[in-house]
Homo-oligomer: A and B are copies of this chain.
């Protein structure tokens, strides 16, 4: 008890009534809102038999399900196994990494189906959903998983749910501004998912700054096997990223092209990451933190441009640069952000998502501005940028300008939103742990006894620390 008094108020991390209440009330709200609003889209509804005839479709294979379902499943794996396991690198926070990611994503996709549905799939008072909505919901939640990376180990599950509620909402507004008002292309979400998600998370963690975090310094590292668990997350993110960037691109060549560009960018990124990881360490040894994270920057950095005619060598260039930027970020920027700006970024999302996301937005703007009918073909050009209807007169350079505007809007939304949500999360009612118990599963989880004793500082004064 003595030690706690020195650190101000003892923290109440008791979840027994708060967490169930939030989970159950919100789930009831989801049921009611789904009941009022959500219905099957035409291609998932049993009326499709008749729809098919009206649309003159001769085969069931024309159902969007067959164009997108394999990519959807890959994206699904990225959100739940990819992000979940990537964050298990901490020696004593594996349950929280995988489990809380699971919780927030499961809630987030429901709320995202509603929010994005109201903006994009609303017809006659109903939200009509299909496989593309499922992908977009996963995408939206991806931005929350990114933000989670910044505050990993320092928040209660309730704080994560509250953050998810607000972040999904803001994400959907930002996405609507970019895609519908600015008419920006961003299929892989460099701006909407990565830039927005990362700067939102960084702002939140700045607001939640913990001056005494060095008290749990011993738990901020990894152990040998936790690094291997994290590599499962890394590899699934890396392998399936071509699906991520191509999942909602136009049918046909656009999906095909997105996958190729992303594949190339990621391959190049691995080499420059390894190079700089070795170069920046005194003994020339590779650092698992870089391999686990910076190798993925290439996927983030082509998120906007992958479906454009970036070309394979363009992708190699973008991937190479983003691997370097990301690795340098881990070595120099992360310590700087913590010591000078008081931004405690547990997973280094600034290096993996924020900077590569900005690169992605910029590369997208340049690629769009450089587009010509010669490169895309007359019809391909119109289709690629959707220069139809009111956008018929848009030129590539104007499109490039709007793309750039998309970056700025995403940043502003992230900073403003993150500041407000960070303020809400700072309220002393959400049950976050004391600094000395951060990065420790034992606070919110029943942990097998045999390994628990020596790392967990027990709060319970009745129970000795080492039984």
**Which A residues form the contact surface with B (CB < 8 A)?**
14-17, 19-21, 23-24, 26-27, 30-31, 34-35, 38-40, 43-50, 52, 59-67, 69-71, 73-74, 76-77, 80-81, 84-85, 88, 91-92, 94-95, 98-99, 102-103, 106-107, 109-110, 113, 129-131, 134, 157, 221-225, 227-229, 231-232, 235-236, 238-240, 242-243, 251-257, 259-260, 263-264, 266-272, 274-276, 278-279, 281-288, 291, 295, 309, 311-313, 316-317, 320, 375-381, 383-384, 444-448, 450-452
Question: Residues of B contacting A129 with CB < 8 Å?
Answer: 260, 312
Q: How far is the CA of A91 from the CA of B110 in the complex (A)?
A: 35
B451 touches A235 (CB 8 A): no
Q: A70 and B67: CB pair below 8 A? A: no
Q: Is the CB of B61 within 8 A of A279?
A: no
Q: Given A17-B284, A61-B62, are A447 and B81 also a contact pair (CB < 8 Å)?
A: no
Write 8 A-B pairs (CB below 8 A) sorted by A numbering. Answer: A16-B283, A34-B264, A48-B380, A49-B379, A98-B228, A98-B235, A102-B238, A110-B267
B46 touches A257 (CB 8 A): yes
Contact B274 A49 (CB under 8 A): no
**Chain B residues with CB under 8 A of A23:** 271-272, 274-275
Residues of B close to A20: CB separation below 8 A = 274-276, 278-279
Contacts of A17 in B (CB 8 A): 279, 284
A235 near B274 (CB under 8 angstroms)? Answer: no
> How many Å from the CB of A338 to the closest CB on chain B?
19
CA distance A271 to B312 in the complex (A): 43
Query: In the complex, what residue of chain B is closest to A286 when comparing beta carbons?
Result: B445
Cβ-defined partner of A268 (8 Å) among B98, B110, B157, B275:
B110
Report the bound CA distance from A415 to B397 in whole Å: 56
Check A271–B46 contact: CB distance below 8 A. no
Docked CA distance A447–B254 (Å): 42
Closest to A267 in B: B106
Chain B residues contacting A94 (CB-CB under 8 Å) are: 224-225, 227-228
